[in-house]
Amino acid sequence: MATHDIKLPSGQRPQFPDRCVGCERPQPGHLAKIAVTGSRSTLGWTTDAALLAATGETVQGTNTRVKLAVPCCPGCARALERRHFWKTVMLYASGILGAAACIAVILWASAHGFSSGMGAFFGIVVLLTLLALPVVYELKHPPAFTVTPLEGHVTYEFVSALCAEEFVRANDPAAVPAPATAATV
Ligand SMILES: [Zn+2]
């Protein structure tokens, strides 16, 4: 399922239309509170996951956390908040499992006579596969609304085309909506 994505600079405070991001009902009179972890750099998440596995502590070295309250009716808000809770759990679980599996594969390869280079290669493939699982799942089943914080900007992702359109108007008329929206005639 495609989402309608709008990119704003990290420093810009987003203005949300008064409409439920889940069911598009106007004036929902309620907010959904969500928090999303992202990386400041492409390898940021991998680095943090590896550090987390090595030290057992949450490292916020290269990660960034965005907290938002978005207009959402109470029913949709419960589903959206639950979805973001599990999104965070899966992100950390895939990082910890990926790092543990990576070490296990390297040890296994070394015990079975593979060169250390081959062992590291197998380990990294396993690590990247596990890190990719939550990302692939989200691409196939996107939440009604989420954000992706990256270096310098934040991408706001809506399943609802109407909410995305109103969000663009409320924030920056020059902002470019998702190609999915633009390509639809
Ligand atoms: Zn709703």
User: What is the reported pLDDT for 182?
Assistant: 42
Q: What is the 3-state secondary structure (H, E, C) of 122-142?
A: HHHHHHHHHHHHHHHHHHHCC
Query: β-strands 145-150, 153-158: how paired?
Result: antiparallel
Residues, Cβ < 5 Å to ion ligand 1: 20, 22-23, 73, 76
Number of domains in the chain: 1
Q: What spacing in Å lies between the alpha carbon of 5 and ligand 1's midpoint?
A: 19
User: What is the reported pLDDT for 95?
Assistant: 87
Q: What is the pLDDT of residues 112-171, one digit of tens each?
A: 999 999 999 999 999 999 988 888 888 899 999 999 887 788 899 999 999 999 999 999
> By residue range, what is the domain housing residue 65?
2-182
Judge contact between 56 and 113, C-beta under 8 A.
Answer: no
Q: What spacing in Å lies between the alpha carbon of 127 and ligand 1's midpoint?
A: 37
The percentage of the chain sitting over the pLDDT mark of 70, rounded to a whole number, equals: 79
pTM: 0.75
Q: What spacing in Å lies between the alpha carbon of 140 and ligand 1's midpoint?
A: 21
**Per-residue pLDDT for 180 more than 60?**
no
In 3D space, the residue among 152, 150, 161, 155 whose CA is nearest the CA of residue 175 turns out to be 155
User: What is the reported pLDDT for 183?
Assistant: 39
Judge contact between 6 and 171, C-beta under 8 A.
Answer: yes
Judge contact between 185 and 49, C-beta under 8 A.
Answer: no
